[in-house]
Structure 1
């Protein structure tokens, strides 16, 4: 890239916290490693206000696109995936396609202002229509997979082929990866019921089919940790694929500073003795499952911090009811000093970074998995939807950093207090399997640190190689234009 030129890079995440956060982390890394670039994050007015109110990075520019949920038959507050009711999810996904004209106009405006198009567009995998916009306007395009390589490869294959619809067997080999066997209980309820003629499968097949049209793919993972998953992605997508993880974004928070209640509670516990429990910003378990989890926790005797919200089927903004837990459970745990219930939200990365945290009972969303593994914290897996069961599968069977305790809200789902007690004791209290998981998770944590070591780290090299590829394409285009002008 020419000296003194500040070219524009555009990052366009899907309108969900689990997608926006890794995009912000990527934006921050690009801004620090390539100060000659102007890094832009594109989103809607509502989401930009939300981001900048808690995470105002001075090195990143935000570009706003208009979005009116009501124009698509959605409630006016349906501005963000986490605010949606289940019946509105597909409608919201279709509504997001309406951002295309404004996004295309933004590229045109930048091109007119700068006298040249942006250097590249890095877009969410839910926005593959940005590929056609980029290529029409002569811009290098990359999809950014915010999920893990294995989880996204399986997720792609499941939606592309719906193999579970073609067999009555519980064990289902994937057409793209015959050696990968998915159990029916690892498939989310909405996908189990999917038929090729329904809107959801049609939508997913359409967006997945367009991933191959991009110029490159970035993945929020580590080469040395996910060799199998990256090999699977490279088998089905004939494009350069660069792992650039772990990219984690934790907005500054005053919730766990010295003297804070959570911090004080953790400070008083022995090292690696506390189980942290959270199911992410967009997932939760049922009331019956919540009851079984609480009873299993109490029987295990393990110390825990539980981020708790109303169960599935209730508004997350409603007041939490004591009847969803065993009688006087919260009071009993508080008096014994065994458990701390955090209602609503907690500073997850800070808790996982605390010396007293010894394991994480997680839904296995990829951001949560990376946060846990990067801090050397073993995972107890309770996947709920999407790619989460596949993340749990690869982390338990191949990476060796977790133990599954239950599977989410599909019809075949079961959770048992005795299993909860046994698994929690194994991982938190130091069973033989738990010791091996702890040993392995420390190794993985070191792999993650090494991935960003300057000059030798695989993720540092991956991002540098990506921008070299972008610059090479731009140089070719510049030379071609010059030859045309001369002719």
Structure 2
């Protein structure tokens, strides 16, 4: 008779890159501690998560049990490049189809439950039905994994008086919630995912005390968190990149550049710059005279592997590539972001400020030029630039409907890489980066939180 595993772990991410990525990092952290870890998603998104993994030896994936759970086919529309609203509504068909994972997931839960003394389900808030399915199993317990920071979470569903007081103390003004998401998405979340009678006893957050200590303390007193454990274990991304193996060609180019001299530009996987924005960025890069790596690709479709998903409509101005030859690289495909941010030649990250990108940049000690697009990104940009003071804004959120001009892009770059104020920002991010890396090392706050979580799920 096959022996039961004492503790088995099932991870269920939401099918968007920032969520797939963080939960795969977390899965690998747990599997490296000897736990049998299962990762369940749609066939497309299992492949997406595996193909884009960075910072780990590829052989580490062999330690994870991947489960490709079937769902019906769904439309795969392209992003609207020139939409005035940056929220990725083109991904809705994939999001809606994802709900159908619930039935095969229930069968998987039954199988894993029967083979385990204790089954631990770790799910994204937008996969909360996994926790609901676990309620019927006598040996299962579920945990909410937050892919977003504590600062952003404190703004929903409404701002408490204690949070408002802290915001005033730091002279921070939150962006209006309705300006960051579409009404359709809010209705979708409320209808399908948000379970007001949450059964989770604990929450795991990809953040750390050194970044959000004040906000984590406040979060513990919020109604949804009172009486529950909060494990702030971030960053979940690796902080030491393994050497050897295949290297992207851009890294060989980086090897030849002076330390801290390269600007890295990437605006995430869910949105893309408009044609006019691409033109202004190109002009700004020419005028700035700085070295750069620019990731210029189409936003992800629901199925990134479909033939039509290989199309891209981002065209550079005539003569641009000749103008910057030798000084910059344009990458039209997926880029090794962790490797780029960890490289000593990278001196600035112009980013959309998705939480995954923020955590990677902060943990590598790279300042951020913030250009938020939607969702939590405006709040993250505020945290980075006004609270932590380790970055600058490319464009303030209340000017989001205006075209960002080349002169504003050059000014943001110069503030970090040319002007004296950049020296202070670099000094702060160097200190903060060291603190964040120390947090996940032996004796650090985040490492202790992970050990506490492990002790909790292995309790007698």
- Asked if TM exceeds 0.5, the reply is yes
Q: Where do 1:22-33 residues align within 5 Å? A: 22-33=22-33
Pick closer, same or farther for the CA change 1:20–1:249 going to 2, 3 Å: farther
Q: Aligned-residue CA RMSD in angstroms?
A: 3.3
Q: Aligned partners of 1:458, 1:24: CA distance in 2, in Å?
A: 21
In 2: Cα distance, 1:280 partner to 1:381 partner: 12
Change (3 A) 1:106 1:4: closer
In the TM superposition, residue 437 of structure 1 has moved relative to its aligned partner by: 1.1
Residue 240 of structure 1 deviates from its aligned partner by: 1.1
- Distance in structure 2 (CA, Å) of the matches to 1:275 and 1:153: 32
Structure 1's unaligned 5+ residue stretches are 79-84, 162-172, 476-487
User: CA separation in 1, counterparts of 2:417 and 2:400?
Assistant: 29
Post-superposition shift, 1:4? 9.4
Aligned partners of 2:267 and 2:245: how far apart in 1? 19
CA drift of 1:453 comes to 2.1
Q: Matches of 2:11 and 2:40 in 1, distance apart?
A: 6
Q: What corresponds to 1:317 in structure 2?
A: 310
Q: Is the Cα contact below 8 Å between 1:45 and 1:64 reproduced in 2?
A: yes
TM-score (norm 2): 0.83
Deviation at 1:261, TM superposition (A): 3.8
Which structure is larger by alpha-carbon Rg, 1 or 2? 1
**TM-superposed deviation, 1:361:** 0.5
Q: Identify the residue that residue 128 of structure 1 maps to in structure 2.
A: 128
Q: 1:45 aligns with which of 43, 54, 65?
A: 43
1:171-210 to structure 2, matched below 5 A, reads 177-179=163-165, 180=167, 182=173, 184=175, 188=179, 190-191=181-182, 194=183, 199-205=184-190, 207-210=193-196
Please give the alpha-carbon distance, in whole angstroms, between the structure 2 residues aligned to 1:394 and 1:146: 16
Match of 1:458 in 2: 445
Structure 1 residue 281: Cα displacement: 1.9
Match of 2:66 among 62, 66, 70: 62
Q: Which among 430, 433, 436 is matched to residue 424 of structure 2?
A: 436
Superposed counterparts of 1:203-352, under 5 Å: 203-205=188-190, 207-210=193-196, 212-236=198-222, 237-238=225-226, 239-248=228-237, 257=247, 261-310=249-298, 317-320=310-313, 324-334=315-325, 337-352=326-341
- Aligned twin of 1:481: none
| TM superposition score normalised by structure 1 | 0.79
Would you say the 8 A contact 2:36–2:64 is kept in 1? yes
Q: Which has the higher contact order (CA 8 A, sep 6+)?
A: 2
Alpha-carbon distance change, 130 to 178 in structure 1, aligned in 2, over 3 angstroms: same
> Which of 96, 100, 111 is matched with 1:98 structurally?
100
Q: Cα 1:23–1:311, aligned 2, differ >3 Å: closer, same or farther?
A: closer
Q: In 2, are the aligned partners of 1:223 and 1:459 still within 8 Å (CA)?
A: yes
Aligned match of 1:164: none
Q: What is residue 84 of structure 2 aligned with on the other side?
A: none
Higher helix share: 1
Listed as ranges, the gaps of 5+ residues in structure 2 are 53-57, 80-86, 302-307
Q: Tell me, what secondary structure is at the counterpart of 1:58? A: helix
State the 1:141 CA deviation: 1.0
CA distances 1:373-404 after superposition (whole Å, capped 9, x unpaired): 22111111111111111111011111121111
Instruction: Name the stretch that deviates more: 243-252 or 23-32.
Output: 243-252
| 2-structure distance, mates of 1:50, 1:350 | 19
| Matched-pair contact (CA < 8 Å) for 2:113–2:137 | no
- What is the CA–CA distance in structure 1 between the aligned matches of 2:104 and 2:355, rounded to whole Å? 30
Tell me, yes or no, if the aligned pair for 1:10 and 1:39 is still in contact at 8 Å: yes
